[in-house]
Amino acid sequence: MPQLDSGGGGAGGGDDLGAPDELLAFQDEGEEQDDKSRDSAAGPERDLAELKSSLVNESEGAAGGAGVPGAGTGARGEAEALGREHASQRLFPDKLPESLEDGLKAPECASGMYKDTVYSAFNLLMHYPPPSGAGQHPQPQPPLHNKASQPAHSVPQLSPLYEHFSSPHPTPAPGDISQKQVHRPLQTSDLSGFYSLTSGSMGQLPHTVSWFTHPSLMLGSGVPGHPAAIPHPAIVPPSGKQELQPYDRSLKTQAESKVEKEAKKPTIKKPLNAFMLYMKEMRAKVIAECTLKESAAINQILGRRWHALSREEQAKYYELARKERQLHMQLYPGWSARDNYGKKKRRSREKHQESNTGGKRNAFGTYPEKAAAPAPFLPMTVL
């Protein structure tokens, strides 16, 4: 795939918001908006249907997730249409832990509390200068549907963290290695500025934070013996721990050491997409406000909130993700997402195969949604 093209590819017209899929998401959102108004009358019935689906999922086994065929985009739209305070109650209707339920019972856990942080991120994004080609820097087009639930006048309360990073001369937090890095490795004002931003706006984004100070940007990641070599967060030893053993001093045969070397070869992680960045930023907030800990439930909430975001708000995360991909490509030119295939063994793979034969469901339900997604509309950033 033309990553550079889809990823923007620098200062040209290719510096768009991202892949068409992202735009599709916007379209999807718009559709949901339409559905919202359209379905308002049929809400209760659909609610019941969805509840049934959820219950069916539960009865179909522990593997039953949100991935009910036919409960794809429409279902998400319904969730929006039915009001997020109701939607929260449909999460895990049967098996919710009490703490989970308590959390979800709080209306704000499913409503627009995300807004302030999103706007914080937005403020920070705006705080930092755009790339050198500033004039051409694509600004997200205004959303076709301005979410009524997100009045533009709503002023976010910047958390101290955000204020800290927003300040012109942020004081390094104690123990913050990334802030202790002496100089910013990136030559391009684009990325350095961006990742400065990222480290600020995404205060909870260690991944991104250390990206921008990553020594690999100076000499290559994790170079053994390099004085400033700090492992890139995207580089994870197979053990999952940052315990790089650059040299094998043991008396092993070459073959053995070779095998071991392969085994210990650090894994370069995929760059985070827009939603992942959003989740990383918002997770702590949701946990705090909803007293939730289970990531599955949190992610469901975040998924709904993601869809409730305006285009502009989502565009910020698409932009961040695009920059992540750009930087990732710069750091690891030959890397392919395929490199990590098979590194996670998934039992669900077998389940999925079974479900295919049985015609039940997808492992996660993502694809039915995509399959049911409305036809893409004209890209809003390109053209």
Binders in 309-368 for DNA, by CB under 7 A: 314, 318, 321-322, 325, 336-338, 340-349, 351-353, 356, 362-367
* H helix or E strand, kind and range, residue 255: helix 254-264
Nearer of residues 1 and 41 to DNA, judged by Cβ: 1
Nearer of residues 23 and 217 to DNA, judged by Cβ: 23
Half-sphere exposure of 297 (CA within 13 A, CB side): 27
Give the SS3 label for residue 68: coil
CB of 174 to DNA, least distance (A): 20
Q: How far apart are CA 159 and CA 180, in angstroms?
A: 22
Among 22, 35, 78, 80, binds DNA (CB under 7 A): 22
Contact flag: residue 19 with DNA (CB under 7 A) = yes
CB of 354 to DNA, least distance (A): 11
Among 103, 222, 233, 379, binds DNA (CB under 7 A): 233
Any bridge partners for residue 235, and if so which? Answer: 268
Q: How far apart are CA 135 and CA 130, in angstroms?
A: 8
Among 6, 146, 189, 291, binds DNA (CB under 7 A): 6
Contact flag: residue 267 with DNA (CB under 7 A) = yes
Q: Which of residues 204-223 bind DNA (CB under 7 A)?
A: 206-207
Site stretch for DNA (CB under 7 A), options 60-68, 137-145, 159-167, 175-183? 60-68
Q: How far apart are CA 144 and CA 27, in angstroms?
A: 9
CB of 106 to DNA, least distance (A): 18
Q: Specify the long-range contacts of residues 304-308, CB closer than 8 Å, at least 24 apart.
A: 304/76, 304/79, 304/80, 304/84, 304/87, 304/110, 305/84, 305/112, 305/114, 306/275, 306/278, 307/28, 307/29, 307/32, 307/76, 307/80, 308/80, 308/84, 308/112, 308/114, 308/147, 308/149, 308/150
Q: Which of residues 108-127 bind DNA (CB under 7 A)?
A: none
Any bridge partners for residue 8, and if so which? Answer: none
Binding footprint of DNA, residue count (CB under 7 A): 77
CB of 194 to DNA, least distance (A): 16
CA-to-CA dists, residue 116 to 112, 156, 165, 187, 268, angstroms: 9, 4, 16, 32, 33
Nearer of residues 183 and 345 to DNA, judged by Cβ: 345
The answer to whether residues 341 and 173 touch, using CB atoms and an 8 Å cutoff, is no
CB of 241 to DNA, least distance (A): 10
Q: How far apart are CA 275 and CA 65, in angstroms?
A: 19
Q: Which of residues 155-214 bind DNA (CB under 7 A)?
A: 206-207
CB of 169 to DNA, least distance (A): 27
Any bridge partners for residue 267, and if so which? Answer: 236
Q: How far apart are CA 289 and CA 279, in angstroms?
A: 15
Structure tokens that stand for 145 in this block: 């549907």
Nearer of residues 153 and 347 to DNA, judged by Cβ: 347
* H helix or E strand, kind and range, residue 282: helix 274-290
Structure tokens that stand for 174 in this block: 């104690």
Nearer of residues 171 and 239 to DNA, judged by Cβ: 239
**x/- binding map, residues 69-108, to DNA, per CB under 7 A?**
-------x---------------x----x-----------
Nearer of residues 96 and 218 to DNA, judged by Cβ: 96
CB of 148 to DNA, least distance (A): 20
CB of 153 to DNA, least distance (A): 26
Nearer of residues 193 and 365 to DNA, judged by Cβ: 365
Nearer of residues 169 and 338 to DNA, judged by Cβ: 338
Amino acid present at 333: P
Nearer of residues 203 and 215 to DNA, judged by Cβ: 203
Shortest CA distance to 119 belongs to which of 151, 86, 87?
151
Among 41, 44, 59, 62, binds DNA (CB under 7 A): 62
The answer to whether residues 29 and 374 touch, using CB atoms and an 8 Å cutoff, is no
Contact flag: residue 46 with DNA (CB under 7 A) = no
